[in-house]
Amino acid sequence: AQERYASLRDLPAQTTCGTTISLQMNAGLMADLPSIESSGADGVGLFRTELQFLVRNQMPKRDELARIYATVIAAAHGRRVVFRTLDIGSDKVLPYMKPNDEPNPAMGWRAIRVGLDKPGVLRMQMQALIRASGARPLTVMFPFVAEAEEFAQARGHVFREIHRERSIGHPVPEVLEIGAMLETPSLAFAPDAFFRMVDFISIGGNDLKQFFFAADRENERVRRRYDTLNVSFLGLIEQIINRCAVAGTPLSFCGEDAGRPVEAVALAALGIRTLSMRPASIGPVKSLLRRINLAEARAVIDEARASGAETVRPALMDWLAVQIE
Ligand code: PEP
Ligand code: MG
């Protein structure tokens, strides 16, 4: 199987109906970088910057971070890299920060909430990203945005740092994209203006699913209780797809489900055109996508939904079994 996937590396994830899905990879450590070439990824759809903070025993300095980000950009050889700003708190606790004793850390002071309340680290990180990019394009994404105003504020910090870097004579990115992760259900219902303000949206399916079903992603007892292919969850995904389509907002999906072949087919059939996953999943997902017709997959999903099924998985699996015969 590994060899078969290797032979697919330079082929597009094009379905039999001619739609190409962009398959990107998730990364965060230097050890992930060789996979940008070897996996055949179209880019890095999610670079989890907190991992560089978690593997150290003290807060990294700006110049050190700038060197790390420059290495990542170089390894991508012109492919787009989506740098997600720090997502600490919740399950990701920095050893050198005073721990917050929170009753529900996953819903606590984490990610962009920390970045907005104590913007020093966010600003330092932005400076490092701008210096690493120089005049090349830069893509930044904020984690765990729950309302439009948080995004607007975070974006203001980026503009301020760009302005500051320019004023001291540093080159700044000629193309800048600023996006939001959609990983709290609230953001799916944000005002239209939010969808027009963001340059792109990436669905963080791990957190979105956890908060949609109120089922802790860290809790073995409930983690797998609700199916991603549950019709309610698919309805939410569909709503996000429609709102992005109306506003013309590029949309991707970067949770673990993007790398599961059956889930990937369902997401593509609903209309998602960019999936970001761990590098090892790119081969299996591409292999399946290349054998199916999305309109047919969509019809199978819609029929299962109309039949009153709780999840479309059995119907989709039966249909897929015939496709790969
Ligand atoms: C997610 O929540 O789906 C996501 C991609 O972010 P993380 O897994 O790092 O929380
Ligand atoms: Mg998340």
Residue 322 C-alpha to ligand 2 middle, in angstroms?
34
pLDDT in tens, 272-292: 999 999 999 999 999 999 999
Contact 276, 258 (CB under 8 A): yes
Please give the Cα distance from 291 to 42 (Å, whole number).
20
Please give the Cα distance from 181 to 145 (Å, whole number).
6
Phi, psi (degrees; rounded to nearest 5) at 53:
-85, -30
Please give the Cα distance from 7 to 101 (Å, whole number).
50
Rounded average pLDDT over 298-312? 98
At 4, the pLDDT band (50, 70, 90 cuts) reads confident
At 295, the pLDDT band (50, 70, 90 cuts) reads very high
Residue with the smallest CA separation from ligand 1 atom 6 is 204
Please give the Cα distance from 325 to 302 (Å, whole number).
23
To 5 degrees, how large is the angle CA 302–CA 304–CA 307? 110
- The per-residue pLDDT for 324 is 93
Mean pLDDT computed over every residue of the chain? 96
pLDDT in tens, 224-277: 999 999 999 999 999 999 999 999 999 999 999 999 999 999 999 999 999 999
- The per-residue pLDDT for 91 is 67
Residue 82 C-alpha to ligand 1 middle, in angstroms?
13
Please give the Cα distance from 225 to 40 (Å, whole number).
33
In a 13 Å sphere around the CA of 286, the CA atoms on its Cβ side amount to 30
Name the token pair of 297: 């997959």
DSSP codes of every residue in 153-185: HHHHHHHHHHHHHHHTT----SSEEEEEEE-SH
Please give the Cα distance from 266 to 312 (Å, whole number).
9
- The per-residue pLDDT for 97 is 80
207 pocket-lining for ligand 1 (C-beta < 6 Å): yes
pLDDT in tens, 51-108: 999 999 999 999 999 999 999 999 999 999 999 999 998 667 788 887 778 889 899 9
Contact 38, 49 (CB under 8 A): no
- Closest-approaching ligand to the CA atom of 254: 1
Evaluated on CA atoms 29, 34, 37, 40, the torsion sign reads: negative
Evaluated on CA atoms 290, 294, 296, 302, the torsion sign reads: positive
- The per-residue pLDDT for 98 is 76
Q: What is the position in ligand 1's atom list of the atom closest to the CA of 143?
A: 6
89 pocket-lining for ligand 1 (C-beta < 6 Å): no
Please give the Cα distance from 246 to 201 (Å, whole number).
13
Q: Determine the length of the chain.
A: 325
Is pLDDT of 2 > 80?
no
87 pocket-lining for ligand 1 (C-beta < 6 Å): yes
For residue 238, which of 193, 198, 269 has the smallest C-alpha distance?
Answer: 269
Amino acid present at 261: P
User: For the CA atoms of 276, 280, 285, 286, what is the dihedral angle to 10 degrees?
Assistant: 90
At 169, the pLDDT band (50, 70, 90 cuts) reads very high
Rounded average pLDDT over 4-28? 96
- The per-residue pLDDT for 100 is 76
Name the token pair of 141: 């994404």
Residue 96: which residues within 8 A CB-CB, separation 6 or more? 56, 57, 58, 59
- The per-residue pLDDT for 65 is 98
Please state the pTM of the whole predicted model. 0.97
Stated as kind and residue range, the H or E segment containing 22 is strand 20-27
- The per-residue pLDDT for 81 is 98
